[in-house]
Amino acid sequence: MKKLRNLAAAMLLCLPVALFAAGTVDINTADKETLMSLSGVGEAFADRIIEYREENGGFKAVQELTNIRGIGQALVEKNRDVLTAGTPAE
């Protein structure tokens, strides 16, 4: 059981590296875990991003993240190179 737990922990630690190496994170389609892999984004911010996306029909631009309570320009800039806002779901 301990080996399994250690393996799971190692995989979770590698997830952000794999996501950033793979390219961009689309804030209109990313799941909670993917959003949490962004620098400075924890569970609460990931939930708020998904809630905003669902209530507003998606993001038209990455900059819209600053409309979410607690997310400021610094967090957006810290992740700017990996963020994208693909076509919002209809």
Kindly list the structural domains of the chain, giving each domain's residue range(s) and its CATH number in brackets, ordered by start.
Answer: 2-84 (1.10.150.320)
The CA–CA distances, whole Å, from 33 to 3, 13, 37, 90 equal: 23, 12, 6, 23
For residue 90, is pLDDT > 50?
Answer: yes
The predicted model scores a pTM of 0.72
What does each C-alpha distance from 72 to 32, 63, 64, 66, 68 come to in angstroms? 19, 9, 10, 5, 8
pLDDT, tens only, 28-81? 999 999 999 999 999 999 999 999 999 999 999 999 999 999 999 999 999 999
Q: Which pLDDT score is estimated for 54?
A: 97
